[in-house]
Structures are given as structure tokens and as C-alpha cells.
Amino acid sequence: MIKSITQTTRASLHTIDMSSSKGKDIAEGSSSSTSRLSASSAPAVAPATAQQQPLSRYESQKRRDWNTFGQYLRNQRPPVALSQCSSNHVLDFLRYLDQFGKTKVHSQGCLFFGQAEPPGPCTCPLRQAWGSLDALIGRLRAAYEENGGLPETNPFASGAIRVYLREVRDSQAKARGIPYKKKKKKKRNLVKDSSNNSLPMQ
């Protein structure tokens, strides 16, 4: 009687062990299959992220500047098409940007005219710095041709724009007392070996 109960208990325990091991196998199989699915789907996602490379700081700024200029043309009355854009529109755009400038430019009647570091505040207006305008024109000149414009009709490369930038540079340099000088290229002094220059003894 006791022997039969013991055999029955062992049989039931064996059945439980088999069912638990099967459950474990099923769980492991599902996790492994999930990992296989995720691994197989990973290569399909990787190329998509690799194709979307972030823009450089210069490219991002150039795109923003181009969009801003395009919006400026559309806000004109009447709106100006890009094909009708001339150097006059570019000059108007540069003057329009002065209201957002952060560079103090003293007028000739100001007590601080010609001082690089004035001792006090004044009512002279803020303007766009010459360096900022020069860099802006460079980006817009490149963006114009990248968006289908011809180099020979590029309004950002016209002589009128160069003259305007030169006048802004000179006037800001005088107003702030900062002389502008072109950087001269340093000539490399070729140092020759003294032994090569020495005359032969006679």
C-alpha cells in the first residue's frame, strides 16, 4: 500500500518536472525567437539611420539664411520671385537686417565716435557687424547657385554688394576707432645651411 503511494507520488513529480521543463523550453524558445526577429530586423533599420546624416553647422546656417531671404522676398509688396531678384533687393535685405544687429556704431556727432571702448552708454543705433554681413553674403551666394541659380546672374556676387560691404567695413572701423588692415601673408624666410653658403677655401 505504502509502496504504491510512493510510486504514484514519484510519477506525479516526474510529470510536473516534464511539464515545467517544457514550459521552460517554450519560454526560452520564445525569447530566442524574439531575439532572432529583433536581430533580423536590426539591419533593415541601420541603413535608414546611416543615410540621414546631420548637417554641419555651416550647412544648417546656410539653409536658414536662404529660407529667411526667401521669406523676405515673399513679404514684399508685390512679392518678388527669385528669378526677378536683383542686387537692389539684396541691399534692401541687408539694411533690413540692421534692426536686429547687436553692434554699436557711433555716429560722427557722438562723443564716443572713434573710441573702441567707450566709457559710457549712448543713443547710437545698433547695427549688423560687417563680419556678420560678409559671412552672410558668402553663404547666400553659395545657396543661390546650389538652388539652380546661374553664377553670371548671382545677385549676391554683384559689384554693388562688394561696394556696400566695403563701405560698411570702413564706416564701422572709423566709428569704433578700429583700423582695418589687410593681413599680409608672411614670407617664409628660407634659412640656408651656413656650410652650403660658405665659399671654398683657396
What is the pTM for the complete model shown? 0.62
Better-predicted residue by pLDDT, 188 or 141: 141
pLDDT in tens, 158-179: 999 999 999 999 999 998 877 6
Q: Cβ distance 105 to 171 under 8 Å?
A: yes
Average pLDDT over every residue of 60-89: 95
User: Which amino acid, one-letter code, is at 106?
Assistant: H
Tell me the pLDDT tens digit for each residue of 26-73.
444 444 444 443 444 444 444 444 466 788 999 999 999 999 999 999
DSSP assignment of 62-126, as one string? HHHHHHHHHHHHHTSSS---GGG--HHHHHHHHHHHGGG--EE---TTSTTTT-SS-SS---PPE
Q: What is the model's pLDDT at position 69? A: 97
Q: Which three cell numbers stand for residue 174?
A: 572709423
Closest CA to 82 of 177, 153, 9, 135: 153
User: Residue type for 51, please?
Assistant: Q
Distance, in Å, from the CA atom of 131 to the CA atom of 151, rounded to the nearest integer, reads: 23
